[in-house]
Amino acid sequence: MNKKPLRLAIIDLYNGEPNQGMRCIQDHINEIDVKYQDIPFEYNIFESRLKGDLPGMDYDIYFSSGGPGSPFEDEGREWEKNYFKLINNLWEHNQKHEQKKFVFFICHSFQMMARAFELGDVVQRDKKSFGIVPFNLTGDAKNDPIFHNLTDPFFGADFRGWQVINQNKEVFNQLGASLLSIEREWPNMQFERAMMAIRLSDEFLGTQFHPEADPPSMYYHFRQPERKVQVIEQYGEEAYFEMINHLENPENILHTKKTVIPGFLNNAIKKLRYN
């Protein structure tokens, strides 16, 4: 057995804002570390937006986090140029080498991924989305090694001021990418349904929702008075308390948490160490 550590890089795009996402990502890594006792793991965090830190090419698995604000607000800044260069280098590496690099993009990073690969239009929403909401699977999800384990609809934590719409099918075909999930159609609401999960390749996967979220992180958000007002104004008081009830149902947010990122990590580890 190869005893060389598997190295993971967490790219923090929260820009110094207090959040639950970074804890949840680290929880996933610590859980997988316990599961695979024959494989040593090590990880490092890079505060890319705040400090300009970025990992090199010497990691096996990369997580790129969510974050606040517009995916365009740092357009042209040095850290963003270096971020896009890193993503391009990782993609090119996988086209040329048998030993692959695995990358997972979450929320804000999903929008950055969409910009980098021109997957669709990255636009601001009329109203911010917040809460635990249902999403639909696509036909491609039924054959996906991870998403086929979710129900349709499945529930996820959603924090969106921006979104990716208008799938660029030409680019998807060129890359061999798959659209795995879309925003659910809501009664009496006319809008372009956002893309919620995209698989660019066996190694590159992104979600607009937060698959790392757990009940404690959501309780933290629901305790914020401005969040309650936001949900009630957008969806109604009944929907707010329905979201609270979702936290008690293991078939909802916990099922998503236990399926998506663990599935990504298990798949990466299998290919990196057991092939």
pLDDT tens across 190-204, in order? Answer: 678 899 999 999 999
pLDDT in tens, 187-236: 665 678 899 999 999 999 999 999 999 877 777 767 777 777 777 776 67
Q: Of residues 116 and 160, which shows the higher confidence score? A: 116
DSSP structure string for the chain: ---SPEEEEEEE-STT---SHHHHHHHHHHHHHHH-TTS-EEEEEEEHHHH-----S--SEEEE---SS-TTTTTT-HHHHHHHHHHHHHHHHHHH-SS--EEEEETHHHHHHHHHHT-SEEEEEEEEEEEEEEEEE-GGGGGSTTGGGS-SSEEEEEEEEEEEES--HHHHHHHT-EEEEEEPPPTT---PPPEEEEE-SSSEEEESSBTT--HHHHHHHHTSHHHHHHHHHHH-HHHHHHHHHHTT-TTTHHHHHHHHHHHHHHHHHIIIII-
pLDDT on residue 162:
95
Structural domains of the chain ordered from first start = 6-213+253-274 (3.40.50.880)
What is the tens place of the pLDDT at every residue in 108-148? 999 999 999 999 999 999 888 878 889 999 999 999 999 99
At residue 39, the pLDDT reads: 93
User: What is the arithmetic mean of pLDDT over 100-105?
Assistant: 98
pLDDT attached to residue 244: 74
pLDDT in the model for residue 130: 77
How does residue 60 score in pLDDT terms, banded at 50, 70 and 90?
Answer: very high
pLDDT over threshold 80, residue 96? yes
What pLDDT shows up at residue 216?
A: 76
The whole-number pLDDT of residue 41 equals 95
- Tell me what pLDDT residue 275 has: 67
Average pLDDT estimate for 20-28: 94
Comparing 257 with 222, which gets the higher pLDDT? 257
